[in-house]
């Protein structure tokens, strides 16, 4: 009974989705440092998440506007280019997304997110062998990266460097 009375007295707090919170945070970042492109990138990501939450494609147009501002501030920004591909995929513009992701892959050939874009665009276009190749690259990259940090391998490398054998 007491908990009911307590709840009745507390004002209801509006609940914001993660995307709405991201939009608010990005707008604060832009207000604080309008000359930096990172806030506009952050806003574009949050707006595209909101588009996915609500199925309202108008958010994608707003996200593109934020990316245009980021491009004005940092024309050769790789992160903005990746966000642009993400927006293309979200709008189901798969041929354009594949073309943009392929260009990004040539620019930075070991970016794992770009390979994810290649997987997504190729799969949506029915290019399954290319999607599979990109997915396999991601798996190979992840296993190479994780094996470098495997404590047993680090120990073995350290011992070999000191000139001792690690057998048995």
Q: Is the pLDDT of residue 151 over 70?
A: no
Which residues have CB under 8 Å from 135's CB, separation 6+?
Answer: 115, 119
Question: CB of 135 within 8 A of CB of 119?
Answer: yes
State the average pLDDT over residues 52-78. Answer: 96
Burial (0-12, 13-18, 19+ Cβ within 10 Å), 117: buried
CA–CA separation, 31 and 50 (whole Å): 20
Which residue in this structure is represented by tokens 């994608």? 60
Question: CB of 118 within 8 A of CB of 131?
Answer: yes
Residue 82's SS3 state is helix
Kindly state the tokens that stand for 96.
Answer: 């354009």
User: What's residue 97's pLDDT?
Assistant: 98
According to DSSP, residue 42 is labeled H
Please state which CATH number belongs to domain 16-91: 1.25.40
Which residues have CB under 8 Å from 159's CB, separation 6+?
Answer: 165, 166
Q: Read off the pTM.
A: 0.76
Q: What is the 3-state secondary structure (H, E, C) of 46-81?
A: HHHHHHHHHCCCHHHHHHHHHHHHHHHHCCCCHHHH
CA–CA separation, 97 and 87 (whole Å): 8
Percent residues over pLDDT 90 in the chain: 73
For residue 12, what pLDDT band results from cuts at 50, 70 and 90? low
What are the extents of the domains in the chain? Answer: 16-91, 93-168
């Amino acid at each position: 009974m007491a908990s009911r009375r307590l709840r009745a007295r507390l004002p209801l707090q509006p609940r914001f989705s993660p995307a709405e919170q991201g939009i608010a945070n990005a707008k604060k970042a832009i207000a604080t440092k309008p000359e930096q492109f990172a806030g506009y990138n952050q806003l574009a990501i949050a707006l595209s998440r909101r588009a996915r939450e609500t199925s309202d494609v108008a958010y994608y147009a707003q996200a593109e506007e934020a990316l245009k501002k980021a491009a004005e501030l940092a024309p050769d920004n790789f992160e903005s280019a990746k966000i642009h591909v993400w927006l293309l995929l979200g709008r189901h513009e798969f041929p354009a997304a594949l073309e943009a992701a392929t260009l990004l892959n040539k620019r930075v050939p070991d970016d794992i997110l770009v390979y994810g874009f290649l997987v997504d665009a190729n799969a949506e276009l029915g290019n399954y062998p290319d999607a599979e190749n990109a997915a396999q690259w991601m798996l190979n990259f992840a296993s190479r990266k994780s094996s470098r940090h495997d404590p047993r391998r680090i120990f073995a490398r350290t011992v070999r460097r000191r000139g001792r054998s690690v057998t048995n």
